[in-house]
Structure 1
C-alpha cells in the first residue's frame, strides 16, 4: 500500500502503524506518532490499521538547549 511518511510517499507492506514503524526502521525507537493529523499513542499503534493514502508523521525527540 502507499502511504505518506513525514511528507514523503512510501510503499509499505505493513498493515498496522506498529508494523510500519518496524518496516521503516523505527521499531525500537522512542518516537511520537500522528496518523492523518491526529496524535496516536504508542499503546494504540499495534491495533491501528493503515489504509492506502494515510499520512503518518513520526517525530523523534531532540536534545539541546
Structure 2
C-alpha cells in the first residue's frame, strides 16, 4: 500500500499498526509525535492504530534553541 510520511510517498507491505510501522522506519524513543491524517495519536494508541492505504503521517520532533 502507498502512504505518505512527512510529505514523501512510501510503499509498505500489508496494513501495519502505527507502532510496527514506526519501528520499520527506525523511529525510536520518545522524542517525536505522530499525526495520522492530521490528528495526533497518543503514544499509548500506536499499537491499536491501523495504517490504511493513502494515509498521511506527520512525524514531528521538538526543535531546541531560540
TM-score (norm 1): 0.88
- The structural deviation recorded for 1:29 is 4.7
* Map of 2:19 onto structure 1: 18
Q: In the alignment, does 2:35 pair up with 1:39? A: no
- The structural deviation recorded for 1:28 is 3.0
Q: Which runs of 5+ in 2 are unaligned?
A: none
Stretches of 4+ aligned residues off by more than 6 angstroms:
none
Length, aligned pairs only = 65
RMSD: 1.4
Q: Which runs of 5+ in 1 are unaligned?
A: none
Larger helix proportion of the pair: 2
Deviates more, 1:20-29 or 1:48-57: 20-29
TM-score (norm 2): 0.87
